[in-house]
Amino acid sequence: MGLRHLILLLLAGFCGVVVEGKFEVQCYLPGWTLNNGMYNPFKVADINPYGPCDIIVYAFFNVNQTRISPPDGNKYRGHFAQLYSLKEINPELKLVLSVGGWNNSDEFVAMAKNGASRSLFAASIVADLRKWSFDGVDIDWEYPEPENAQDYLSLLQDLKAAIVADAERTKRPRLILTAAVGNTVRPGYKAAEMAKYLDCINVMTYDYHGMWGAELLKTGSNAGFPDVEKSMLDWIAAGVPRESLSMGLAFYGRTWTLSTPEVENRTERVGNSALGVGTGGFLTHENGTLSYGEICSGLKAGWTRKMDPVTHTPYAFFGNQWVSYDDSQSLEKKVQWAQNNRLQGVFIWHIGSDDLQGYCGPKFPLLKSVSEILGRPNVIPTLPPKPVAPPYVKPVAPVVASASAKTGLSQLQLFMVPSLIVIPFFLKL
């Protein structure tokens, strides 16, 4: 029996590296967030290494034939150095590298179609993860078509085989293998079989409504609870064990420009008619999307917040601008559902969309809300000082003392504030 066949037989015994009973929080951290300019700087050191993030998922590396490559030259080296510093403080923190993403998923198709290229790809990823001291890889193929279903499954199978072989050979802890999947069980997914090879399946339970197709002309909930619940139950019904699933939490909102801005002629509820996407924010500059930092800044500047009783998510509006988003209240309902339904955990897309600068109060309000919901501390615990060994004195004179130590609308108009109120925001990154 060859090594490959032996590995594949052993796979059923390696269904995951999940700690039984532990509810895990994965936090996606896009590299572009760390490239922010001086007006919205974000350093990894701003993250509490003790929680709530059990795993930080650095996104994204590109698929480049049979290898992976960074999208921004050598900037990743500085990002990795920051992540290493965080892990030095808390060695239990896991680092995972996400490959693919919305802008780089087409490259999976050609690579996954050929068995030899899949094997080379898997081997190179394992080697890179070990070289960079990462704990695992996340495959974010958005999205495999029906004709790609078997190739996608074979890719996961080959990755798992390479990971198991590496652990057997090196006697090191086995690398983590996860995948981000859509909020519907598409024909391109062989869901039950995928679960045999993945330690966790991250279901992207957001973007149910937004800047595409007919959705442009009617406001909707970005991540309404009924939609989220249905997605998770559909993946369970498709044969994925619930303890292999993680629910996505959106730290951003989807926006629309209302067709009837006059308050007396419209309702601001979910489902109101719209002209199209909303105006980009003063930090992200992306039409149709606002980060939570931009949303809470709008609320502070005079936007009106309401809670939709059907979707159990908040929305806010001012003038003709309207946004659907999540806050601590809606996140609590989702996290508690995930816990009560014995999911492996939740993941956050993405922590760079939180209020990084403390525009609305303490920094990272949503991240801290997740900590509070889970009953985890929001502060770094005080560690006892490392013991210092007494200096060694050679019991023979003379003693030479020596010591060594190893020691669209303008960005401001987005908020539609009355003209007498001045909001001191920087408008350009």
Question: Which of the residues are catalytic?
Answer: 142
Give the tokens for residue 398.
């003379």
Residue with tokens 């988003």: 325
As a dihedral over the C-alpha atoms of residue 99, residue 376, residue 36, residue 423, rounded to 10 degrees, the angle is 140
Residue 287 to residues 280, 310, 326, 411, Cα–Cα distance (Å): 4, 26, 18, 11
d(CA 264, CA 30): 42
d(CA 225, CA 241): 21
Give, in degrees to the nearest 5, the angle at Cα 85 between 83 and 91: 90
CB neighbours (10 Å) of residue 352? 25
In the three-class reduction of DSSP (H, G, I as helix; E, B as strand; rest coil), residue 396 is classed as coil
CA 165, chain centre distance (Å)? 28
CB neighbours (10 Å) of residue 307? 12
Is 137:174 a contact under the CB 8 Å cutoff?
A: no
Instruction: Give the containing element (helix H, strand E) for 315.
Output: strand 313-318
Residue 307 to residues 110, 130, 312, Cα–Cα distance (Å): 45, 46, 7
Pairing status of strand 67-69 against strand 94-100: unpaired
Half-sphere exposure of 228 (CA within 13 A, CB side): 31
Report cis status (omega within 30 of 0) of the bond before 364.
no
Is 77:107 a contact under the CB 8 Å cutoff?
A: no
Is 415:297 a contact under the CB 8 Å cutoff?
A: yes
Residue with tokens 């970005």: 222
In the three-class reduction of DSSP (H, G, I as helix; E, B as strand; rest coil), residue 168 is classed as helix
Give residue 209's identity as a one-letter amino acid code: H
